[in-house]
Amino acid sequence: MTDEPDAVSGATVLSVVLSVVIPMYNEEEVLPALVSRLRPVLAGLGEPYEVVAVDDGSTDRTAELLAAFRLGWPELRIIGLRRNSGHQAALTAGLDRALGAYVVSIDADLQDPPEKIPEMLALAQGEGLDIVYGIRADRASDTGFKRWTAGLYYRLVRRLAGPAVPSQAGDFRLLGRPAVDALKALPDQQRVYRLLVPWLGFPSGQVTYERAPRPAGQSKYPLGRMIRLAVDSVTGFSAAPLRIATWLGGFAFLVCMALMAYTLSAHFLDHTVPGWTSLFTGVLFIGAVQLICVGLLGEYVGRIYTAVQNRPTYFVGSDTARDAERDPARDTKATGGETPVPHQRSGSRT
């Protein structure tokens, strides 16, 4: 990374050709392997680059190891978030502050191979693409349950958000500066980039690879976070669940009419006691439908509530980049008006 970046609001030519954004949370076990594989790949490009490591409030030695690696790797830039904000928020922090003309996002677990980055960059530059997706052609390293749930997720989001969403594309992708600037301009707070990026409609290409097993550490996407990601994907990109609630309500109304007719006929035929089972079943069914509808409405009301609050999705506690210290006006804009303390490389993002 150069000492004085030329980037101002994406309008000028950037001196950094490639930024690699890596969200991290408690990745001390895999960090040495990541650095040993990523650094020679980027050095072989022969282009100015930076590696933006976003420490998402790690509680292990991740921050300490990053600082140690940076002593011998000046292109490594460390952004420390004040608290754990989540994978997509950490990715947002990296994209917001990346300086490169092209930005690659990749996870730290090495399941997505950094050796594919030169191929992605060459494809984008050669064909004038703004987006290059990393497509998982082989997920044999994942468990059967993980493959099944991933397949179900992509079928669901492609049906709701449209076929433009690439199947088996995660957060390993390359974005050109126009795509990055477009993402930064979006008002979305609970972001799901695997849906947002295809929605932009920029020219795109694909690079396939085999998904490798994690060499060390534990997955940061357990079942609970996978379900949360699916809920955010559905409620953030489609009103279909609200229509499902309407259909369930209409179906429940028809069932109620049928039960009413059955109840009246049983009353006139003096068979009211035998109808207890059907009545009890009907009450349970209607109650279940109502709870589902209220739950779906609650998800959307919750998103509206979050949008109205307009709270930042993350706060930056530290950034080793020199431009924040040398150009306070630029950092003030990035932090939403909060002027950083003089002579300190820190700021908060709103």
Binned at pLDDT 50, 70 and 90, residue 265 comes out as confident
The pair of structure tokens assigned to 314 is 């993350």
User: Rounded CA gap, 305 and 303, in Å?
Assistant: 5
Contacts of 270 (CB under 8 A, 6+ apart): none
Of 158, 229, 225, 226, which is closest to residue 190 (Cα–Cα)? 229
- Taking only the tens place, the pLDDT of each residue in 9-39 is 343 345 899 999 999 999 999 999 999 999 9
String of DSSP letters for 263-284: HHHHHHTT-TGGGHHHHHHHHH
User: What is the pTM for the complete model shown?
Assistant: 0.67
Average pLDDT of the chain to the nearest whole number: 76
pLDDT tens readout for residues 37-67: 999 999 999 999 999 999 999 999 999 999 9
Tell how strand 76-81 and strand 316-319 pair up.
antiparallel
The fraction of the chain above a pLDDT of 90, given in percent, is 37
What's the mean pLDDT in 316-335? 56
Q: How many CB atoms lie within 10 A of CB 104?
A: 28
Report whether pLDDT(339) > 90: no
DSSP string, 58-76: -SSSHHHHHHHHHHT-TTE
- Mean pLDDT confidence for 125-143: 82
Give me the pLDDT at residue 230, please. Answer: 64
Closest C-alpha among 72, 96, 82 to residue 19: 96
pLDDT at position 32: 94
Q: What is the pLDDT of residue 216?
A: 67
180, amino acid identity: V
**Token pair in block for residue 318:** 């530290």
Looking at per-residue pLDDT, the higher value among 230 and 212 belongs to: 212
Burial level of 86, CB count in 10 A (0-12/13-18/19+)?
Answer: buried
DSSP helix/strand/coil, 187:
coil
Q: Which residue has the tokens 């953030």?
A: 236
Report the pLDDT averaged over residues 198-227.
76
**Residue 326, pLDDT above cutoff 50:** no
Residue 246 sits at φ, ψ, to 5 deg, of: -65, -45
Higher pLDDT, 167 or 18: 18
Per-residue confidence at 345, pLDDT binned at 50, 70, 90? very low
- Residue 97 has which token pair? 């502050």
User: How many whole angstroms separate alpha carbon 301 and alpha carbon 309?
Assistant: 12
pLDDT band at 186 (very low <50, low <70, confident <90, very high): confident
64-123 pLDDT per residue, tens: 999 999 999 999 999 999 999 888 899 999 999 999 999 999 999 998 999 999 999 999
